Amino acid sequence: MAASVKISAPSKINLHLRVYERRPDGFHGIRSLFQAVSLADTIVVRSLKTINTVAIEGSFDCPAQDTTVYKAITAFRNASGIGTGLSVKVEKVVPAGAGLGGGSGDAAAVLRALDALFDTRFDTKELAAMAATVGSDVPFFVEGGCALVSGRGERVDRMVSREDFALAIHFPGFPMGSAEAYRLLDRMRPEDSGEADPAAEVLKAAYYEDPKLWPFANSFEPFVAVDHPAIAAIRSKMSELGAFFSAMSGSGSSVFGVFPTARAARQAVKSLESFGGSSYLAFPLARLPALD
């Protein structure tokens, strides 16, 4: 058994996000193109001599025991029966409430780290099943890359990921919780809007086309942007700076722009600093980073 494991926890953007009406189980159905990106937290997991102890260190927007990190530890313990004490240190880079899946990425990374730490050798399907008990988006991060995600987020159809563009991501400084965004959507769009809903195969084929031709959209964006006009302003700035495509990610509040080169994206990141908040250069990830 390793003494400790260090792992990178990538985030994601939603290139496309169609949200359907609330289902009888209380969840909303979605159809979304998830793209893992290089903007990432760093997590170090160590075993402790004490039994059942869990010490979590990091800058979170909630108590440690309410984090996805703690929930992932619980899911792993339930599946493995291992109760060894743990120390988990999370170096946060991905902002919370940004629509970038930071918490979900952290949870999946912790599951992978624990599997390596204790050499339990769970396969991808088993890790994904644990991930699904933590949160709807977590199964995607077990493998990362690109995928068409549906259901409430638990159905993940893997795709070959592109690596031929760069990203500027801007977090405007205010969080937008997913629960808040869903409530806003239900209030402002009480019935399914009948918005454009390309078929799964259409979305998958479009992903490999020129980003200037992408038919992608985000169901949340028109409604979130009513209360937060900065989102539309940032998108407009992205286009002005040469983005081939831009959109809000997830339920917000981050906005991303797709650029043809790292240089163009880096210049956009610098220009976006005038909006306040935080700007990041990122790249699409075809595979998850290796564990140390």
Return mean pLDDT, the chain: 95
Q: Is the pLDDT of residue 2 over 80?
A: no
AA identity, residue 221: E
Query: What pLDDT score was predicted for residue 1?
Result: 66
Q: Among residues 275, 191, 178, which one has the least CA distance to residue 220?
A: 178
How many domains does the structure of the chain reveal?
A: 2
Listed range (64-78, 185-199, 239-253, 264-278) with the worst mean pLDDT: 185-199
Q: Is the pLDDT of residue 250 over 80?
A: yes
How large is the C-alpha radius of gyration of the chain?
19
Is 291 part of a structural domain of the chain? no
Query: What pLDDT score was predicted for residue 290?
Result: 83
Say yes or no: 100 and 217 in one domain. Answer: no
Instruction: Give the integer Cα–Cα distance in Å for 100 and 59.
Output: 17
End-to-end CA distance of the chain: 14
* Each residue's pLDDT tens digit, 62-86: 998 999 999 999 999 999 999 999 9
Query: What pLDDT score was predicted for residue 190?
Result: 84
Label residue 156 exposed, middle or buried (CB < 10 Å: 0-12, 13-18, 19+). Answer: buried
Is 66 part of a structural domain of the chain? yes
Label residue 11 exposed, middle or buried (CB < 10 Å: 0-12, 13-18, 19+). Answer: buried
Pick the residue with more confidence: 194 or 1? 194
Query: What pLDDT score was predicted for residue 32?
Result: 98
Say yes or no: 155 and 172 in one domain. Answer: no
Give counts: helices (H), strands (E), the chain.
9, 10
Query: What pLDDT score was predicted for residue 251?
Result: 95
In the DSSP assignment, the letter for residue 91 is: E
For 32, the domain range is 4-159
Asked whether the beta carbons of 71 and 103 are under 8 A apart, the reply is no
Say yes or no: 148 and 184 in one domain. Answer: no
Mark which of 159, 181, 199 sits at the end of a domain.
Answer: 159
Catalytic positions are 12, 137
Query: What pLDDT score was predicted for residue 29?
Result: 92
Mark which of 134, 159, 184 sits at the end of a domain.
Answer: 159
What is the pLDDT confidence band of residue 191, given thresholds at 50, 70 and 90?
confident
Instruction: Give the integer Cα–Cα distance in Å for 154 and 244.
Output: 30
Residue 89 bridge partners (DSSP): 44, 57
Say yes or no: 103 and 178 in one domain. Answer: no
Say yes or no: 86 and 172 in one domain. Answer: no
Say yes or no: 178 and 150 in one domain. Answer: no
Is 273 part of a structural domain of the chain? yes
Mark which of 91, 124, 159 sits at the end of a domain.
Answer: 159
CATH of the domain at 226: 3.30.70.890
* Each residue's pLDDT tens digit, 149-164: 999 898 999 999 999 9
Instruction: Give the integer Cα–Cα distance in Å for 269 and 278.
Output: 9
